[in-house]
Structure 1
Amino acid sequence: MTERILLTGATGQVGWELAKSLAPLGEVVARGREEMDLSDATSVRERIRAVEPRWIVNPAAYTAVDKAESEPELAYAINRDAVRVIGEEARAIGAGVIHFSTDYVFEGTGITPYRETDATRPVSVYGASKLAGEEALAASGAGYLIFRTSWVYGARGKNFLLTILKAARERERLRVVADQHGAPTWSRDLARMTARAIERVEESAAGRGLSEALGPWSGVYHASGAGETTWHGFAGEAVRLARERNPEARLAEIEAITTAEYPTPARRPANSRLNCEKLAERFGWRMMDWRESLREVMKEL
């Protein structure tokens, strides 16, 4: 491939990894918030038309889950309206779209991992705005892949892992929720999977236009780390590995609490488990087990 790939949110933790993983596939035109403001639909249209990409990869999003409850207009402008514009512009130029969504589109009840076909029922403004973005992209007429993921973290950016490790060095005890279940997802694994998905679609194109080639692939896929844990389990394993690497370090004890003991403006799903079999079947990609990826990130740190 020598065509352009327009990457939004390039300074975020997923965007940064995508810039590296996508580089072998074409000319990556990376745009951060300053160069491409997703809250401004006109800016989004202008940037896409200036680049004329073959692919638009959109990890950018409004992700302040609690703050979204008090500023829903901005959350919807970025998570729904900008995605609609991306889809419309992609359809006009025959580009493919890769968009990232979230486990928060589900209510989060039960203990069974959610499949792509399960009913969505978001319980927060953030989740509702992300679902609205999925629907807007699907209705745009563009060829698209939507990857729903969960609990994304890595060695850079703002994420739960880095927050916990910093707090563990500064405090004697940390209280972490132990009744929300899901799987941490390494941003690098997510980026590598995305590159593989593009390769598979391009291999199937065989000289056809990308919109036509994307047809059989288009849809929603779940892409979260393998295995499952809780936020308490994630924090505990991270601190355990930190102690293992530095036995002399003084790190906090991790105390398990309930969601009720840690109230937040936005409700969180108690069940964030995602079934990723469709991703494995269609693209031949299995996401890394969260414990394995956590060990890799801790080595990097």
Structure 2
Amino acid sequence: MLNQITALFMTMRAWDILDVLVVTLFLYNLYVLIKNTRATALLKGLLLLGLFTLLAGWLQLHAVSWIMEKLMTMILVALPVVFQPELRRALEQIGRGKFYVSSPIMTEQEWTNVIDNVVDAAVEMGKKKIGALLVFERTVGLDDYIDTGIRIEGLVSEELLGNIFIVNTPLHDGAVIIRENRIMAAGCLLPLTRDRSLSSELGTRHRAAIGISEQADCVVLVVSEETGTISYTYGGHIYRHMDAETLRNRLRGFLMQGHRRGVSDVIQKWSPLKK
């Protein structure tokens, strides 16, 4: 085995190394492009189906193998349709010279500042009965919904959130989507839940908050325009009548515990592709 590996390295040329590096670079940046979209979850599902197909073949489960092979063929044909938004976005970024992107690393203090600003803004809007809808992105990216709104990409602050949701302004009725410490966009359109068992007291904002939390791994903050009540949704469930301290603790649990630093974060921070 050692001799074979040595012989393999001896036959490698400089162009072979360059070839491997280019492919590695391409795959890495392709992953960066899709990691902030729902395509990540779909790819994980495809990977699991592929592994299950291989396992069925290894165990000689002929009927199961036949079904899985046909299913995988159908899925591969449907991929361009399923990933159409991600493919379009990738081509646009390549055309604009923005193929190389990276994500910041959030510290505990930065998360605390974000949560404090959001909670303070929500409490203030609740006192004034100003309706608001704020979506915190977590592990599943929300670029598809960000594209429906007006790009802002500004740092989260109580003052900026207060200005966005001023009554009768263009962005008042849409949702704000927050990625880490940035308000990515405002005036975003969200899908409404189809749950017919919900109370009639819940208006469009609450139903949109539940709807997006059903489809993506996000936590959504809602301020009622009628009562000033602060609620949050997660996993298709709504939790109402939140006070400031309880809300802070819940957001810390959802956001800070899910964003621990790891080796991949450190590597990405010091990547030469980082702008």
Query: TM-score range with shorter-chain normalisation?
Result: under 0.3
TM-score, normalisation: structure 2:
0.26
Structure having the higher Rg: 2
Question: TM-score, structure 1 length as denominator?
Answer: 0.25
Structure having the higher helix fraction is 2
Kindly indicate whether structure 1 or structure 2 has the higher relative contact order, using CA contacts under 8 Å at least 6 residues apart. Answer: 1
